[in-house]
Amino acid sequence: MSFLEKLTGPISKEKPDNKPVPDPKKTEKEIDWAPSETEGQLSVDVFQTPADIVIKSTIAGVKPEHLDIAITNDMVTIRGRRESDDDLKKDDYFYQECYWGPFSRSIILPVDVQTDKSLATLKNGVLTIKLPKSEKIKTKKIEIRHHEE
């Protein structure tokens, strides 16, 4: 038993999730958004301010051109792909807990939003999507005038 095995336990060369290691040599044009392999699920925080619905997600290692965000009045879908820069074989890993490959997440929104005024930013590996809330239709009472004939 090696010193490393004494510290961390037996070394398993199998990946815990048995997901294929993505090919880091794929070019941007070869990236397929269709879920041909297992997709990871993106973790998100969703909260509101008085004016907006805000979605935040940590997506470190994802280039903006590898992201696709689709917004409707009541749903947001985020799709992307995290590529590994390393050219390693499956047998070279002692542990592989980071997810590499395609991911997606659809979020049903609690209120309607203005899709044309939505904004997405990526800073320090955190994706932030601001979705302005739609103005709610307020009930308006009208006065009934009595008209004599």
Q: What is the mean pLDDT of residues 26-39?
A: 54
- pTM value is 0.63
Map tokens 């309607």 to a residue.
Answer: 112
The tally of domains found in the chain comes to 1
Q: What is the pLDDT of residue 129?
A: 96
Q: What are the backbone angles phi and psi of residue 79, rounded to the nearest 5°?
A: -130, 150
Query: Residue 57: is its pLDDT beyond 50?
Result: yes
Q: Is residue 144 part of a domain?
A: no
Q: Is residue 138 part of a domain?
A: no
Q: Is residue 28 part of a domain?
A: yes
Range of the domain at 77: 8-132
Query: Residue 16: is its pLDDT beyond 60?
Result: no
**Which one has a higher pLDDT value, 41 or 5?**
41
Q: What is the mean pLDDT of the chain?
A: 77
The strand ranges marked E within the chain are 40-41, 45-48, 52-58, 67-71, 75-82, 101-108, 119-123, 126-132
CATH code of 20's domain: 2.60.40.790
Determine the residue type at 119.
L
Q: Is residue 145 part of a domain?
A: no
Q: Is residue 56 part of a domain?
A: yes
Q: Residue 81's pLDDT band (boundaries 50, 70, 90)?
A: confident
Q: Is residue 147 part of a domain?
A: no
Q: Is residue 42 part of a domain?
A: yes
DSSP conformation class of 4: H
d(CA 38, CA 30): 17
d(CA 17, CA 95): 11
Query: Residue 75: is its pLDDT beyond 60?
Result: yes
Q: What is the mean pLDDT of residues 54-58?
A: 95
